[in-house]
Chain A
């Protein structure tokens, strides 16, 4: 009998085994850091939760860019719609006169994002790619501008504070002491969100719908010639991805218990883009890995201050520099990303090897979708 672990490992490509090792080392370092007290447990758990949020965002953008080839530069806006959606109905300091449970807020946030996705999608999804990029970035700024200026609805620039924890109103989980235990619950929550999203997106990707969307990405005219309504499929992909981004926003709002319009900065959008491109466009595993790397860059640069460097060291600028160099570096050295889609495009059980480890799913299997 073959050992399932070694046969799994043998089936990995070079890039995959490198990533597996990197993630393994990261996990070990994390455990050592927390165990030795270098990394505060509550903060460590918060970082994990934040990583989970970025993974969700990357999965959402991957539906847009990786599956359907839509250049969407309004990631931060849909994320913000999710966050504001739940904040408006569940926060103590919301301008609305009532508060409801965050579970309801979750659906309000997702619904708001879905509706706005349709409103934005109708005019923009017919545009060619670079125009779509510019138009979505402009509309995202319009959305941020509304959150910033409609004082009566959104509290304007001061944002909405006083959100409850996601499980705050629940009988048992709501009584968990604040700090590490609540952050642990957040990690569990985001893990559930990611698990459900990942499973749903994989099903979608392998379904006839997913194949059609990939065809549209590769050759829209061909898809039209085959009788597919390209606009409809692009709209569906746009709404699905936007709802996943809003899910990340809802989670973030209840993680940080506050949301301000400045968090909808377009730079956030570009952060998520680097996660997806670095991971490998079209690959959900890549999006997952990209999200983890992103949180290391975004949060890791905070540690650069401290003892090593002068107090006035511009960590925000260094973060920007690192991300900028990373974008250029990826485009230069490895445009297809670190984990381009390979096994993901192959329906399980259809290859000779009986699974993802089969030869057909190796370096030549699948094939890039763009």
Chain B
């Protein structure tokens, strides 16, 4: 039982990262109309930007005497924590990079959605190459001591670290903020209108170019946060974003491409399923943990065949 509960916990943490990445992919698809293969590498850029900010800020805090380097919840969230600054910078840098890619490349191309897709592969390569040139191909990790499982959860028989709590709570906050923006602000209404029908939205006086920028910023900012959390719970490497891109596509397609709430749901399901794959062999299905990604892709293909519009998407041509 506790083993099963542990898979749920791992699944929720992984889901949080996938959800954050999926929203952006789906948002950009709904407003710009193409599958952006550079999305994974945007996430990588955010992760690295946060890492250097984090080491810079924590060094600054250490010299000013207010060092706060415990690995526990306090070390991550307490005080003028370096990590909160790093998260903000990571999200901002990812957003800036994404807007730059739209302004410099995608908006300049007079081509089909397939042309944009192929161009986005080029953009992805450029981003990844720049990360590799600056940081090399080695894996890096946050210089935070591992705190071990939190005692409160250990009593329930599952290992939950402070990092896990931070990832899940921060994701909930970000998702709630996005929901509030989409439902209760005029920006959100304009975004929904633009995604429904861009021409009609423009004709109704919405400045769609501004909406496009906002979409890139929100989508990439959330992906950047996903990258920061991925780096926090695992490690950073230049391929980290590309490696989860297909799982993110699986989540987006499951939820219904173009639908933000679908992306949240799809991310949750795919993330939990992904972490549940090791449990399958104990249930008599002989699939080893190495096939977790493969299982996610197969779910994606099955969904494409059975219900291409996804769980929450509208029917597409």
Seen from chain A, the residues whose Cβ lies within 8 Å of a Cβ on chain B are 71, 123-124, 126-131, 133-135, 137-139, 141-142, 145-146, 148-149, 270, 273, 277, 314, 316-318, 320-321, 323-329, 331-332, 335
Contact = CB atoms under 8 A, between A and B. Distances in A.
Contacts of B132: 314, 316-317, 320
Given A139-B301, A149-B290, A332-B105, 6 more contacts: A130-B34, A138-B297, A142-B297, A273-B121, A317-B132, A328-B122
B200 interface: no
A332 B294 contact: no
A131 B316 CA distance: 12
B223 interface: no
Given A138-B301, A145-B290, A277-B118, A328 B123 contact: yes
Most chain B CB within 10 A, of A146, A326, A327, A329, is at A327
Given A138-B246, A327-B119, A149 B291 contact: yes
Interface of B: 34-35, 105, 108-109, 111, 113-115, 117-119, 121-130, 132-133, 136-137, 246, 249-250, 253, 288, 290-291, 293-294, 297-298, 300-301, 304-305, 308, 316-317
Given A273-B118, A328-B126, A138 B133 contact: no
B119 A328 contact: yes
A20 B294 CA distance: 45
Nearest to A132: B304
A286 to B, nearest CB: 15
Contacts of A128: 308, 316-317
6 contacts: A130-B113, A134-B300, A141-B297, A320-B126, A326-B122, A327-B121
B126 A321 contact: yes
B129 A321 contact: yes
Contacts of A277: 118
Interface SS of chain A: helix
A102 B250 CA distance: 39
Contacts of B137: 314, 316
B35 A320 contact: no
Given A318-B133, A320-B129, A325 B114 contact: no
Contacts of A149: 288, 290-291
A331 B136 CA distance: 29
B254 to A, nearest CB: 12
Contacts of A148: 290
Contact of B125 (A137, A141, A320): A320
Contact of B304 (A135, A316, A317): A135
A318 B316 CA distance: 40
A51 to B, nearest CB: 21
Contact of A327 (B125, B291, B317): B125
A180 B179 CA distance: 65
Given A149-B288, A317-B129, A320-B129, A123 B121 contact: no
B114 A324 contact: no
Contacts of A323: 122, 125
